[in-house]
Structure 1
Amino acid sequence: MESDMQAGGFPLSFSAERASETAMVGADNFDLALLKAAMDLAGREGWHRFSLVMAAQAAGLAVVEVRNRYPFKIQLLLTLNRMADDAALGEGNGGRTVRERLFERFMCRIDVFQAFREGVRAVMHGLPFDPPLAAGLGAATFDSMKWMADSAGLDCRGLGGAVRLQALLGSWTHTLRAWERDTTPDLTETMQALDGALDRAERLGLLKPLPEPESVSPPTDHETAPSGSGDRTEREDFNSGCVTETFVMETEEDDDDLPDYVPPPL
């Protein structure tokens, strides 16, 4: 299979940095300012050691407006997750295969997280000690995986689709953990981890693409030809579910051959 690849063997048909910048531009300035201030505080103090009031003050935003928009702290992370989805889904279908498209989308998500790296790492470190936060982010991440799978053309129908979604979630989790430890400037270790995870999923048959839509064949001549004198026509009886055959016969009779009209007896 031919594909544009870079030196490390990873596809070049995407620009995660460009997608990340696009998602940032599309984000609300208020949200972006608050998110940046909150992630900076989380990176320095830890996720559980700052408040939304502190983030509002650091961002220079009105506390009452922050309260109206973000009544719960987890909404900051849901906003970040939505930005990552926007970046990934905005990439289109550059890859030729499901695997290539998933690689592109996952790296777009990683690049958005990279812009808030220390804050995201602080959240990851705090998850084991905050079950409600872990449950909320887990549900949001699973929903994101469904969007990634559907947009990449992965077959998610039925029981097999549920298994494939779980495998995709495992691939993402493995990649995110590799990114959390990755110190390379170009995220080579993260891409290697993602490539390996997708390779294992592909070998296990867990990257099954959606089948091609069936084309509708044009009607044949006998189905479209109009019925006429002496022609044999077929009529499908939809009420009984069977096909009946009729013959249309043309008769020629003179009006003189018809019997005279006889009035009924009084």
Structure 2
Amino acid sequence: MATAKTRQKILQTFLELLSEHPYEDVSLPMIAETAKVKLSEMRSAYASKLQLVAAFAEKIDTTVLDGLDGDMGEQPPRDRLFDVLMTRIDALASHREAVRALHAAARHDPGLALDFNRLEVRSQKWMLIAAGIDVSGVKATIVGQALAVAFARVVDVWLDEADEGMPRTMARLDKELDKGSSFMKRLNGVESLARGLRSFLRNASSGRKRHESRDDEADPDSGVEEEAPARA
């Protein structure tokens, strides 16, 4: 069983190797050799590179959640989400080249992109929670997916921005959140329509059952013996 220290060492080595090599060239044996751990420890800690990417995403999530500003509650939801996502960008800053390698790998491998997307959607659900935006169920998945796509576009801009003030990155995030606000309004409209439709169908079904019940009660043949014909 790998210790927490060993797991941390392996993850850090993975990120450092990603800063120097394409994702596809970084193998588990290479990571183990560079980290100076046995393959058995490597297997115990992380059985695949995808597990390492998941651990990286969780590390960033934790950094953002630990660094939340307690005064955000006074801000509108959109502003809170903007702050949370910029905090996420700040958390990624020390791993910029590793993030670049991951983005490049996803662009060239659709299957890998789907795996990464699943991890990012999970992270973005936590970013929504951090911003105090209450979504759940199917809606949470839809909104998380939309936010994952939007954040990927923001990261693409950030990766190529030299200005430490990140004006282009913040402008892109503003633009994506504006589009997201419109999307949320449409989604809420669809959700409201769906609720109305479900209510209509329930009422229609209930009305149909009541109508059938009244028909049964009014049926002259129901529970009544047939009258014998009159004799001539």
TM-score, structure 2 normalization: 0.67
- Given candidates 58, 61, 65, the residue that maps to 2:34 is 58
- Given candidates 78, 87, 99, the residue that maps to 2:54 is 78
Is the alpha carbon distance of 1:158 and 1:67 closer, same or farther for their aligned partners in structure 2, counting shifts above 3 Å? closer
Counterpart residue type for residue 161 of structure 2: D
Q: Does 1:124 align with 2:100?
A: no
Is the alpha carbon distance of 1:184 and 1:136 closer, same or farther for their aligned partners in structure 2, counting shifts above 3 Å? same
Offset from partner CA, 1:181-240 (integer Å, 9 cap, x none): 2222343322222122223333x26289xxxxxxxxxxxxxxxxxxxxxxxxxxxxxxxx
TM-score, structure 1 normalization: 0.59
Of the structure 1 ranges 91-100 and 150-159, higher mean CA displacement relative to structure 2 is found in: 150-159
Structure 2 residue aligned with 1:136:
115
Structure 2 residue aligned with 1:32:
8
Is the alpha carbon distance of 1:40 and 1:171 closer, same or farther for their aligned partners in structure 2, counting shifts above 3 Å? same
Deviation at 1:124, TM superposition (A): 0.8
Q: Percent identity?
A: 28
Matched position secondary structure for 1:57: helix
Structure with higher helix content: 2
Q: State the distance in 1 between where 2:125 and 2:88 align.
A: 14
Offset from partner CA, 1:53-112 (integer Å, 9 cap, x none): 211222233332112111111111101100111122221553222112212221222223
Counterpart residue type for residue 128 of structure 2: A
Q: State the distance in 1 between where 2:46 and 2:142 align.
A: 35
Is the alpha carbon distance of 1:186 and 1:130 closer, same or farther for their aligned partners in structure 2, counting shifts above 3 Å? same
Q: Is the 8 A contact 1:128 1:134 kept in 2?
A: yes
Deviation at 1:157, TM superposition (A): 4.8
- Given candidates 173, 177, 185, the residue that maps to 2:152 is 173
Structure 1 residue aligned with 2:71:
94
Is the alpha carbon distance of 1:158 and 1:110 closer, same or farther for their aligned partners in structure 2, counting shifts above 3 Å? same
- The alignment of Structure 1 onto Structure 2 pairs a total of residues equal to 180
Q: State the distance in 1 between where 2:136 and 2:58 align.
A: 24
Greater Rg over alpha carbons, structure:
1
Q: Does 1:156 align with 2:132?
A: no
Q: State the distance in 1 between where 2:65 and 2:92 align.
A: 15
Counterpart residue type for residue 88 of structure 2: R
| Structure 1, unpaired ranges of 5+ | 1-27, 209-266
Q: State the distance in 2 between where 1:81 and 1:158 align.
A: 22
Deviation at 1:46, TM superposition (A): 0.8
Is the alpha carbon distance of 1:152 and 1:174 closer, same or farther for their aligned partners in structure 2, counting shifts above 3 Å? same
Offset from partner CA, 1:129-164 (integer Å, 9 cap, x none): 323321211111111222222332324257766654
Q: State the distance in 1 between where 2:163 and 2:183 align.
A: 31
Structure 1 residue aligned with 2:184:
206
Is the alpha carbon distance of 1:178 and 1:83 closer, same or farther for their aligned partners in structure 2, counting shifts above 3 Å? same
Structure with higher strand content: 1
Q: State the distance in 2 between where 1:152 and 1:186 align.
A: 23
Q: Is the 8 A contact 1:89 1:151 kept in 2?
A: yes
Matched position secondary structure for 1:45: coil
Is the alpha carbon distance of 1:75 and 1:207 closer, same or farther for their aligned partners in structure 2, counting shifts above 3 Å? farther
Structure 2 residue aligned with 1:48:
24
